[in-house]
Structure 1
Amino acid sequence: MNNPELLLPVGTRDMLESAINNGADAVYYGVPHWNARGRTEDFSFEDVEEMIRYARLRGVKTYLAMNILIFEREIQELPEFLERLIALKPDAFIIQDIGLARLIKAISPEQEIHASTQMTLASSEAVNLVKDIGFSRAVLARELSTKQIAQIKSLTDLELEVFIHGALCVSYSGQCLTSENFGGRSANRGQCAQSCRLPYRIFVDGKEWKDPKARYLFSTRDLCALPKLEELREIGVESLKVEGRLKSPEYVAAVSHAYRKALEILSEKGYKENAECANGNAAELTAQDLEPLEVLFSRGLNTGWLDGVNHQELVDGSFSNHHGEFIGTVVQVDRNGVIVELEDKPVPCTLLPGDGILFEEYRAEPEPRQTGSRLYKATFANRAGKSQVRLEFGREFNLRKVSYGMKAYRNDSPALEKELHKTFTDKSFAKHIPVCMTLEGKIGEPLKLTICESTKAVADETRTVTVEGAILEASRNEVAPDALQAIAKKELSGLSATAYILDKLEIKLPANAFLPGKVLRTLRQEAVQAFDEKRLQWKELAPSADNGRAFLHSVASSTSMVAGNPDKATGTPKNRRTITVLVRRPEQIDALQGLDIDKVIMDFDWGVKYDEPLERIHKLGFEAGIATLRIHKPSENHYIKQILTLMPEFALVRNLGSLALLKDSGIPMVGDYSLNATNSASYDWLLAQGLEKLHPSWDLNSTQLFDLLKNIDGSKLELALHQYMPAFHSEYCAFARALTTGRRFPECKKICTQHKVEILDHKGERHFLQSDAECRNTLFVGKPQSALKLLPRLIAQNVSSYRLELLDEEPESVRRKIDIYTQAIRGKLDIDTAISKAGVEEKYGLSEGQLFNQSVWQDRKKGC
């Protein structure tokens, strides 16, 4: 059976040693300045090189995360940086940006690259499509069940990596613009502000919905896949990944230890063919193994999406921060302490003096009431068949702040952290590779020392070195074999400062051999140094910045702007400007009659048929298109089959899986912003897959957009001049979670079709919650974004395709709004007047969004 790799996060040097000492097979950390955790410590090139060396000597792989989108000006400056970085010989890069992946492969074809979860890979079609770029592994979207993971595994030969522990995002990774829309910080650029963890107010059909368990409606619990470990192992998942580069070294120690122990239990069971392994392994871990997972950092642990969709379990809703291990409920408070009725679980929690205890009362308004203190004493008892604990605190703690019914948590433990701290500070915990040594020689000939890994045969030259030392001299007296062995072992076992530990020593020397300590020490040092170099040998990567620059030049040459015939009066291209309107309700179609537009895209909710609306669009004289879903997962090809059956004039493609399925269909395709194209190298590849036009990622501001247009054909770019920006797109249904007790469809009774839900954020702005045909939610920003100010410059750059996206507007509003934009695009209405009129039409006003945001988040550190 497959023995999966255990992959741990590293944000500091202490975290590296913590992960390695506690059982990691591989670690990952961010490329300085270019990774999805902008708040982590930036390492220098020297740091990166030394950390790779440290890990490789101990048999641990190193993956460098460069998992953000790269803008055009940046990618042109990256070849030299990448050449230097690849020269450090990492095991692999974790990449989100398609253009960056291609650039790395151009600089060094032998460099291994892994497709980040930020690429939103959720089907075998998507995984296999990116294989052609050169990816050898895909980090799957976290929203997949084990059944879906198994389906993907059966249909691809790429390695698969799956998240097993840590924070979950409410949004599909790579599809979240929440931080950008609400705070000007892009998650696709490593600056996530965790806006999903903030409290929100919910309005249903215009009235506020007050529920203490829905205040933090989008803050997910944390993932713990220990109960699913055996299943993932049976599926054949190659890598099990832990989230947490912003966590502590103690957290890394606890998680590494628990999962390594669990994997060893499973491996032993598999070896013995023990039938009990089908029941999972979590029960065989001790409370000492499991408690740290909750106490050090937890918002409540569950299996996430691995067991399938369960909207009620995924989000607690009453809090969003670390709460730790749930102890129980307060049943009595007196002048000396608090009595808590314990949660019913197989092993009661451990409570130590000094532990942090949090008490909390949940309520919709005002904010939940909290208090807490350090524990002085805990006394367990059983009263009337109920397990209880009496908690006592220091005199400074005001017990009057604790009341009946409050929930109690253990959210800190200095004693526990102290023990975990030792695993990466105490040298006795350091990981060492067991080695065998053979000391041999003849009198008058050089003394020889051979060293090899204990797990390898001595004859394995890839892991064996032999060094020669001084000429072996004879002793005046014969030495007993045991004494000779003791002398040699004393000097040769001094390996504490190295990556090794002596496992077996073989002596092949004459009885009268003379072994000076200094000679043996020198021989040992030379052997270890040679063994280090042997173990550090790596495949030849031969990175070349020149090859990278040549690749970018070829991309720019093949995709550069093809100017149309200029208008004699203005000097700008006079290509026909195509206007496409995206509708989300069939009744919006008739409002388009007689308007000066060209195409209509249908993007309907669950259960709405497309055949009749398609015919209505044709009767109005427009081309009809159908949008794919934002996400494509296993067993969801029915939606693609509908497109293939109806054969519209074009399809709006929103994910790589749908692109793979439609590329040979003969249906013209337009790529949407969710494909995250931000540079010419990604544009070039996506267009080569059969897209006729492509909308750039919404991570670009206007400066970055026009930087891109310098190196691509503007006629291949489509831009939405009007759109309700999507904050996030989620497998989790907030409708079902807040308004029903349903775990999934159909238990929710499709509540989203019965009510309109708006979300009020911390700034007092309202946003619209919508569902799609697979019950996934999108939160749309209440103020639509208008790019009308950019229209003259876009026209000058040969951009001739413009899109106008509707949400739930009534037909009368649709007609007025589209007419304003079409007049501006056709040059019949000046831009300022059009913007003014468009703003009047919007319920919550009009926004310029991030397109005109030129600020750069300051909490970023330049690396190297």
Structure 2
Amino acid sequence: MNSSTRPSPELLLPVGTREMLEAAVANGADAVYFGIPHWNARGRTEDFSLEDVGEMIRYARVRGVRTFLAMNVLVFERELRELPEFLAKVISLEPDAFIIQDIGLARLIRAIAPTQEIHASTQMTLASAESVNLAAKLGFNRAVLARELSLKEIARIKDATPLELEVFIHGALCVSYSGQCLTSENFGGRSANRGQCAQSCRLPYRIFVDGKEYRDTDAQYLFSPHDLCALPRLGELEEIGVNSLKVEGRLKSPEYVAAVARAYRKALDRTPLEASDKEPLEVLFSRGLRTGWLDGDNHQELVDGTFSNHHGMYLGTVVRVERGCVVVELDDGFVAGTGPRPGDGILFEEPRFAQSAGARLYASQVVHEHKGKPSTRGCCPQLLKMEFGRDFDTRQVARGMKVYRNDSPALEKELRKTFTDREQAKRIPVKMLLEGCIGSPLSLTVQDYSGHSVTAQGDTPIEEARNSSVVAGKCDAGKSDTLNDGKKGAGKNDAGNKLRDLAQKELSALGSTAYRLDNISVSVAPNAFIAGKMLRTLRQKAVEALDNARSEWHELNPSANAGRALLNSVKFANVKTVAQSSTGNKIPTLVAMRTKQQVVKCCPPAFAGMTIEPAGMTKDPVISVLVRSPEQIPALEGLDIDNVVMDFDWGVKYDEPLEQIRELGFRAGMATLRIHKPGESHYLKNILRLCPDFALVRNLGALSILKESGIPLAGDYSLNAANCLSYDWLLSQGLQTLHPSWDLNSTQLFDLLGDIDGNRMELTLHQYMPAFHSEYCAFARALTTGRRFPECGKICTQHKVEILDHKGERHFLQSDAECRNTLFVGKPQSALKLLADLRSAGVNHFRLEMLQEDAATVRKKALIYTQAIRGKISIEEAIRLAGVEEKYGLSEGQLFNESVWHDRKKNDAGK
């Protein structure tokens, strides 16, 4: 399909309040999304009641705008069992679609209403066609892609999947892959996967390189990206065939939504954008607008590093300060006519010395530099002289400070009119036909231009006018007088003209509706007596009928019973599996069911026919140790462990370490990367080539590729399994064991274990928790001038970098084989206190994860934990010994966090 015949992509706007909905609709949104009460990834937005949700869906649908309900959070086991009735109520409100992160929740909605449209949230970390296509098997109708994809990568995914694709085009950028961020949870006890992101990435951090503080950088806000603006790349996204263009910002203002919707609507409609269209995008809220990852990696461009909050439109640099005024040399990109205006907020900042000052502008004037005055950029600078009130001490401002315009009441007032001023409202054009004969009820037919037509009838027959001056006449239904756009047609007599004038007046009074009168035809006897009240009542009935016609939706027939039946069937199957395991019956697995020929196809002769039994085959604990460098492997010799998982950095070969692990008598596993993008299957091909004894799968793309390989597979925490329905589906895709999401605390973990087979769960007893996982390379940004690999010189392999947070705690920065960064919490988490209870619940697979430890430390840690797991030392003694080995102490982490973060809401949800 060429660009001339391809449908224009949907423009999707965020809604956090009712006013934001009205702003989005009035300014050209094709669709909007807002959160389910208590169940969305923006926990700080206003919670709507179910009645509010129903009214908002109807308001949007009448105006031709689709509504998507965001339920893009992980759902825990106890919550899942309470959801069928709630979901049935919400589905009965007839939303166009749900935006879902949780696999189990998607399955539950599909069971309750099989025809309900569902969209895979960006929280599912979908970054390749393989992951998107696997999501399609779950029943998703659309995939919201990861923000970290370039235009070329998006195009490759689009060419390889039939699923609709949605791409973010404007708003805040997360430094971490969505769905893979545990920063808020680790640093503040607030999970981003539960809608409680505290934006820890926007805080200042200090950098330590090889143990010493690194001061030769301006990147204090090392993990705070610029905001996204895809206006320069909108044409390419359309050409690719992206189905939906999404704006972030449910916590922003209605004026912000109006400004963004208006600018992108004009661009999509091929209307040239003016400077005044782009002006509010920066002024109302901006941390600097860039194209993000759409043009590929540019670590220097993505993060400024000198600030993390709203700065607005950059004006220029202070060249001199006078009493009551400041003279600014304007930036080359400044466009005349885009302000600033009196009353605007002006910010002065010197990031090197953490100095800033702000004030309201009194007046401004563009001036020309006189001869002899210095310029920071050469001759003929464009200067702006800004005057301020007496309450602002200009001595706070110094030459060289950067100047921003970060607020504009005048702009906000103009934008507010777009959705509050009835005269500016965009309305749906309709045609009307008014008919009636003496002795019959009056009728009004209203039609829009989308094929909807309704007719309303009066309650009483039309009477003849008693005024003797009116000549009696007969109703001729075959003839009518027409008024177009308010112009009166030729009438037979004065009475007919008066009737048409009255009809035009009363029927065009549509200011409180979604419509405007485009054309009216009157076919009523001229001597009929028609009261204005009769026409008003008829108009109201017809408008209500047209609203109903435009709001009609296909039958969904939600059934809470069907949802409960799915939950019970999965629980029964798992309970049955546990019972079989306890009596010695082996659990059938995909590996056990594969033929010898299939295994030989993947594995070298030495391992042909070999199968690895899952956890349920034995009551003895199975212990795995994950290592991140080949140098850590020899330290494991002779220890009472079963498996070693290799998770190496870029450029490290796996061939020799794989054989070394086997020679030590352990099963050798290889971990996939946490992200799978187009063109990155070489890492998975290496796994297929080497055929390890098992693979640790960390993303849906890798699962899709490896599931038929014949290699035994274990699923990692990054798959975000939080309930029995997600567990059940992921295991059905070929995983033998599965690690739960790290969003679960101990209570939620044991709730889950009550409904699944614990023999197929693996839990890490020791690890450095991953705070975030990012496409952005902090090594390159802070320590080099390189935009991307290889310009960075692979600096991450040459130094050990630690990050000091606002609490004074240090964390480890590590890169992976695709140069992605993970920030690991410096104080490791230990789940030893749960060991006895986990064993009682049937959990037999346990993992220990190493990071940067030397060989001697690796051995000490592994020995302590294996002795505790095997019952050779007490758990109390193991905890004491483990704490001694840790540089920054030992933490119990999220598993022992029983607190629930609550935010103050404006409404009580679900009323």
Q: TM-score, normalized by length of structure 2?
A: 0.90
3-state DSSP class of the match of 1:161? strand
What is the distance in 1 between the residues matched to 2:534 and 2:892?
Answer: 75
1:152 aligns with 2:157: yes
The answer to whether the 8 A contact 1:340-1:388 is kept is yes
Q: 1:334 to 1:860 in 2, by over 3 A?
A: closer
Equivalences for 1:564-713 in 2 at 5 Å?
Answer: 564-565=581-582, 575-713=619-757
Question: Partner of 1:375: helix, strand, or coil?
Answer: strand
Preserved CA contact (<8 Å) 2:205 2:806: yes
SS at match of 1:741: coil
> Alignment partner for residue 385 of structure 1, among 380, 385, 389?
380
Q: Does residue 1:851 correspond to 2:895, yes or no?
A: yes
| 1:366-385 equivalence runs, <5 A | 368-383=354-369, 384-385=379-380
Following superposition of structure 1 onto structure 2, how do residues 403-802 of structure 1 map, counting pairs within 5 Å? 403-453=398-448, 455-456=449-450, 460=451, 463-469=452-458, 470-474=460-464, 476-477=470-471, 479=493, 483-560=498-575, 562=578, 564-565=581-582, 575-802=619-846
Measure the CA separation in 2 of the matches of 1:573 and 1:616: 26
Distance in structure 2 (CA, Å) of the matches to 1:493 and 1:31:
37
Match of 2:348 among 353, 356, 359: 359
Partner Cα distance (1:671, 1:637) in 2: 18
Give the 3-state SS of the residue equivalent to 1:82 in structure 2.
helix
Distance 1:860 1:589 in 2: 50
- Confirm or deny that 1:116 pairs with 2:118: no
Q: Please say if 1:163 is aligned against 2:168.
A: yes
CA-CA distance at 1:547 after TM superposition = 1.1
For the residue of structure 1 that corresponds to 2:520, the secondary structure is strand
How far 1:441 sits from its partner (Å)?
3.7
Aligned counterpart for 2:320 among listed residues 332, 351, 362: 332
- In the other structure, the counterpart of 1:202 is 207
Query: What letter is aligned with 2:398?
Result: S
Mark the CA change 1:343 to 1:761 in structure 2 (over 3 Å): closer, same or farther: same
The alpha-carbon distance between structure 1 residues 573 and 133, as it changes in their structure 2 partners (threshold 3 A), is closer
| 1:97 paired to 2:102 | yes
Match of 1:827 in 2: 871
Do the aligned partners of 1:820 and 1:838 also contact (CA within 8 Å) in 2?
Answer: yes
Partner Cα distance (1:213, 1:511) in 2? 81
Whether the 8 Å CA contact 1:221–1:300 is kept in 2: the answer is: yes
- In structure 1, what residue type is equivalent to 2:571? A
Shift of 1:413: 0.8
Equivalent pair of 1:356/1:410 in contact (CA under 8 Å):
yes
The 3 A distance-change label for structure 1 pair 585 and 573 is closer
1:265 equivalent in alignment to 2:270: yes
From 301, 315, 331, the equivalent of 2:289 is 301
How far apart, CA to CA, are the structure 2 residues paired with 1:162 and 1:536?
27
For 1:661-688, what per-residue CA distance to the aligned partner results, in whole angstroms no more than 9, with x for missing partners?
Answer: 1111111110000000000010000001
Residue 562 of structure 1: SS of its match in structure 2? helix
Tell me, in whole angstroms, the C-alpha distance in 1 between the residues paired with 2:775 and 2:672.
16
Superposed displacement of residue 13, structure 1: 1.0
Output the CA distance in 2 between the equivalents of 1:14 and 1:108: 30
Give the equivalent residue in structure 2 for 1:252: 257
Question: Which amino acid is 1:562 matched to?
Answer: V
Candidates 44, 59, 64, aligned match of 1:39: 44
Instruction: Give deviations 1:284-318, integer Å, cap 9, x for gaps.
Output: 31121111111111110100111111101110000
How far is the alpha carbon of 1:507 from its aligned partner?
2.6
Q: Quick check: 1:565–1:574 contact (8 Å CA) kept in 2? A: no
Secondary structure, in 3 states, of the residue corresponding to 1:241?
strand
Offset of residue 484 of structure 1: 4.3
Query: SS at 2:894's partner residue?
Result: helix
Distance in 2 of aligned mates of 1:498 and 1:406 = 51
Question: What is the match of residue 14 of structure 1?
Answer: 19
Does the CA contact (< 8 Å) of 1:341 and 1:389 recur in 2?
yes
Query: Following the alignment from structure 1 to structure 2, what is the Cα–Cα distance between the partners of residues 208 and 438?
Result: 79
2:139 to 117, 134, 150: 134
Aligned partners of 1:107, 1:213: CA distance in 2, in Å? 53
**Matches of 1:229 and 1:124, distance apart in 2:** 22
Q: CA deviation at 1:639?
A: 0.9
Q: Which residue of 1 aligns with 2:857?
A: 813
Give 2:331's aligned amino acid: E
SS in 1 for 2:141: strand
- 1:312 pairs, out of 300, 318, 324, with 300
In the alignment, the residues of structure 2 paired with residue 247 and residue 236 of structure 1 have an alpha-carbon distance, to the nearest angstrom, of: 28
Q: Percent identity?
A: 69
For structure 1, the residue ranges without an aligned partner over 5 or more in a row are 267-283
1:535 shift after superposition? 1.2
Task: Tell me by how many angstroms 1:414 deviates.
Answer: 1.1
Shift of 1:190: 0.7
Q: Alignment RMSD, CA only?
A: 1.7
* Amino acid across the alignment from 1:776: R
Check the 8 A contact 1:479/1:513 in 2, yes or no. Answer: no
8 Å CA contact 2:324–2:389 kept in 1: the answer is: no
- Once residues 645 and 827 of structure 2 are traced to their aligned partners in structure 1, the CA distance between those partners, rounded to angstroms, is 22
C-alpha deviations, 1:71-109, integer Å up to 9, x for none?
Answer: 000001111111111111111111110001111111111
Q: Give, in whole Å, the separation in 2 of the partners of 1:109 and 1:427.
A: 40
Shift of 1:482: 5.2
Structure 1 position 511, deviation (Å): 4.9
Does the 8 Å contact 1:8/1:242 carry over to 2?
Answer: yes
Superposed displacement of residue 378, structure 1: 0.7
Whole-Å separation in 1 of the counterparts to 2:500 and 2:651: 81
C-alpha displacement of 1:425 = 2.3
Q: Kindly state the Cα deviation for residue 134 of structure 1 after the two structures are TM-superposed.
A: 1.3
Task: State TM-score, norm by structure 1.
Answer: 0.94
Q: In structure 1, give the amino acid aligned to 2:434.
A: L
Aligned residue type for 1:412: D
Report the CA distance between 1:487 and its aligned residue: 2.6
Query: Which residue in 2 is equivalent to 1:278?
Result: none
What is the CA-CA distance between 1:57 and the residue it aligns to? 0.9
Q: Size of the alignment, in residue pairs?
A: 834
1:509 CA displacement: 3.9
Q: How far has the Cα of 1:443 moved from its partner?
A: 4.2
The CA distance in 2 between the partners of 1:412 and 1:192, in whole Å, is: 25
Cα pair 2:175 2:776 within 8 Å, conserved: yes
Instruction: Write the distance in 2 (CA, Å) between the matches of 1:650 and 1:293.
Output: 50
For residues 238-260 of structure 1, give each alpha carbon's deviation from its aligned partner in whole angstroms, at most 9, with x where no partner exists. 11111111111111111111111
Q: CA contact under 8 A between 2:324 and 2:390: conserved in structure 1?
A: no
